[in-house]
Homo-oligomer: A and B are copies of this chain.
Amino acid sequence: MSAAKGTGFLGGLPHAGGGASFRAVDPATGDRIGPEFSSWTPAEVAEAARSARAAFEANRGLPERWQAGLLRDIADRLAARRDDIVATARAETGIGTARLEGELLRTRNQLLGFADVVERADFGEPLHDAADPESTPPRPDLRRVLVPVGPVAVFGASNFPLAFSVAGGDTASALAAGCPVLAKAHPAHPATSELAGACVAEAVEARGAHPGTFALVQDAGTEAGSALVQAPEVRAVGFTGSFAGGRALTALAAARPRPIPVFAEMGSLNPLFVTAAASGRRLDAIVEGFAASMTFGCGQLCTKPGLVLTSAGREFATRAAALLDRVDPAPLLNEGTFAAFEASRHVPGVEVVTADRPRSGSGFTAAPVLLLATLDDLRREPALLEEHFGPFAVVVDVDGDDDLLTAARLLPGSLTATVHSEPEDAEALRPLVAELTELAGRLVHNGFPTGVSVSGAQTHGGPFPATSDSAHTSVGWTAVRRFQRPVTFQDFPEPLLPPVLRTPRP
């Protein structure tokens, strides 16, 4: 029995919106479940934004690096309520319990990791150029540090109800920067969002931060989210979701009197290139890894390999189809994803190699689909160059390894690109690797793209349309950089400098 009551959070307290009511849907059955939620009105969003601004100013009075304690407190509360959160997320998303337990652990560790980052000596990337009166022209004393941008709006993703949602990576990195967070719950998992939001709101109170430091906005539609992006107090937006959603928010943000950046992760093909040497030596292992990666999380991961390019295309597709046809159908996240998935298999002139299984069970249950296409199909059919959520992928049968580079040049920006090759391929592969460096934020060798480690050297980002800003990552410790800006203090007296910039006592 979930502790969720059907609320968001405003000013530190549970808050039910004044708009239309809605409920979650169990994707395994299509039934409405859980408490009744109500959408927030634009006026309620505006109040939350003003409170976030007040928090941003009030929190200046907290001890330096106060965010670290807050992040750890949230992590502890998430862990303490694990069972309720996982059960609620399971009901709202259809994702398996083991994966959700792993995701909760990841979310907790992510918060703890950002807390450690905040306490590093180099947090905020401080730089100091001492005065040099002898230079031409004379140089003043310059000290620079990254400061928080201000309140940040975070849009939770449908496919990771914990790690990329209310207490997920965007929230953790924005709080780590020192920014208040206005989180918009994904309407497909409002109760999970409420439970995670309660952990954040309670931690904010326990750590003595201003109650406006965190708000959780509930909305079944787009009105509250639009109001969030347009609120004058909001200084940046983090978003994980569809291309259409990301583009709509980016346009809203650019049209503000004072434009703000939107860090939108929008969708990715995650192409997988297999050389002739690699397919010749270990095709079965690659096919097996691919099938597991493509169907993990029912194919609803943003790093799902959606496109395979290899001169062993037909053999690859045949063997993969044999594996995929034995995968049990599983529920997709929601009705919209299901409808799009059902449509994705129909590409004119392109062969479906998986079996046409009858739809089994109720709800939004789907079996894997694999297509076999040619390079000409790829040139001809824009649908093959778009991300399709769910257990869906396309194998492109190319004429030889040289065509891997030809194909790469046709592809849109991606979060990842994967290469399977053998040592003897190295010299010939250089042009392809150079091209893929242009194409993606993470290059994987002889592995599979699903599974995104949260660490310092991670890049979960990539060229448009994978994200709206390829200069940043949304996973890993440098994700905090999205919510910071540099400020330089010239010839400032020690008492007026931020503590991190003061001259260390000997």
Contacts and interface: CB of A to CB of B under 8 A. Distances in A.
Contacts of A142: 453, 455, 457-458
**Most chain-B Cβ atoms within 10 A of its Cβ — which of A150, A442, A471, A488?**
A488
A127 B456 contact: yes
Contacts of A492: 443, 445
A34 interface: no
A1 interface: no
Interface of A: 57, 60, 102, 105, 127-129, 136-137, 139-140, 142-144, 147, 149-150, 250, 254, 258-259, 261, 413, 423, 426, 429-430, 433-434, 437-438, 440-447, 451, 453, 455-459, 461, 463-465, 468-473, 478, 481-482, 484-493, 495-496
Contact of A426 (B250, B487, B496): B496
A423 B493 contact: yes
B455 A491 contact: no
A244 to B, nearest CB: 15
A490 B470 CA distance: 18
Contact of A490 (B258, B426, B442, B495): B442
A447 B491 contact: yes
Contacts of A473: 486
A462 B442 CA distance: 31
Given A259-B468, A451-B137, A453-B140, A459 B488 contact: yes
A488 B445 contact: no
Contacts of A102: 136-137
Given A60-B434, A139-B455, A445-B491, 4 more contacts: A102-B136, A149-B470, A150-B438, A446-B491
Which of A139, A426, A469, A490 has most B Cβ within 10 Å? A490
A492 B484 CA distance: 31
B457 A129 contact: yes
Given A137-B102, A144-B457, A457-B142, A445 B127 contact: no
A362 to B, nearest CB: 33
A104 to B, nearest CB: 12
Contacts of A478: 127, 486
A441 B487 contact: yes
A60 B451 CA distance: 30
A63 to B, nearest CB: 15
Contacts of A489: 442-443, 445
A497 to B, nearest CB: 9
A250 B260 CA distance: 13
B457 A136 contact: no
Given A60-B434, A445-B492, A464-B258, A144 B487 contact: no
Given A150-B438, A468-B259, A469-B261, A457 B493 contact: no
Contact of A442 (B149, B445, B487): B487
Nearest to A472: B486
